[in-house]
Amino acid sequence: MVNIRNIEKSEIKQVAHLEDLCFPENERASLKTITDRVSQASELQLGLFAPTKHTTTLIGHLMATRTSSESVTVDSMSKHEPTGNNVAIHSLSIHPAHRSRGYAKQLIKELQFRCEKTVSPKPRIITLLAHKPLIHLYEETGFKLMGESACKFGGDTWYDMIYEL
Ligand SMILES: CC(C)(COP(=O)(O)OP(=O)(O)OC[C@H]1O[C@@H](n2cnc3c(N)ncnc32)[C@H](O)[C@@H]1OP(=O)(O)O)[C@@H](O)C(=O)NCCC(=O)NCCS
């Protein structure tokens, strides 16, 4: 059985490795960005761990920061604003060998639960950028499609989606 908990500093290299596996070079977070997120906003960095013989292995992660923006901007990806009203999701990654088992949705629901119950101050919205084929995945977890984003991160077309808490 998998479990979800906050990512620890000692696990940053595993997160970077999973980013490399899951994203093309122009979309993945650098080791520095991951380190900053874990150091500055540890409560918003979730790891999904599967049991192995003697320990557990990271097979998925969700990384987010606080932001004052209503939508994800390139700036918000590398900057955590502790007093920002909102939470922005920047990465959702599941190891290719463990996909289509509902794990991405489990990570999103865990973030929603934590934002509702434990993250302080309680955020107003969770915002993210989606590629068109994944809009459905986020709608299934309660996100609303807001339209095409002004953000052209990595030279791509993205869609703004928000979840109201
Ligand atoms: C996108 C990703 C996180 C989904 O992980 P997952 O654990 O397989 O997702 P789930 O099992 O929770 O699937 C949820 C739904 O999304 C759909 N889905 C997943 N990946 C999809 C894709 N690439 N294209 C279209 N639909 C997709 C599934 O069909 C599923 O829908 P269903 O429940 O109606 O059948 C995973 O494929 C991944 O890591 N991709 C590379 C990184 C990425 O693109 N991340 C998202 C942007 S930050």
Q: Sketch the domain layout of the chain as residue ranges.
A: 3-164
Residue 88's SS3 state is strand
CATH of 3-164, one of 3.40.630.30, 3.40.50.300, 3.40.190.10, 1.20.1050.10: 3.40.630.30
Ligand 1 atom 21, closest CA: 134
Residue 90's SS3 state is strand
pTM for the model stands at 0.96
118-142 pLDDT, tens digit each: 999 999 999 999 999 999 999 999 9
Question: What pLDDT is recorded for position 77?
Answer: 87
What span, in angstroms and rounded, lies between the C-alpha atoms of 162 and 94? Answer: 21
- Closest atom of ligand 1 to 131 CA is 47
- Closest atom of ligand 1 to 60 CA is 39
Residue 76 predicted with pLDDT over 90: no
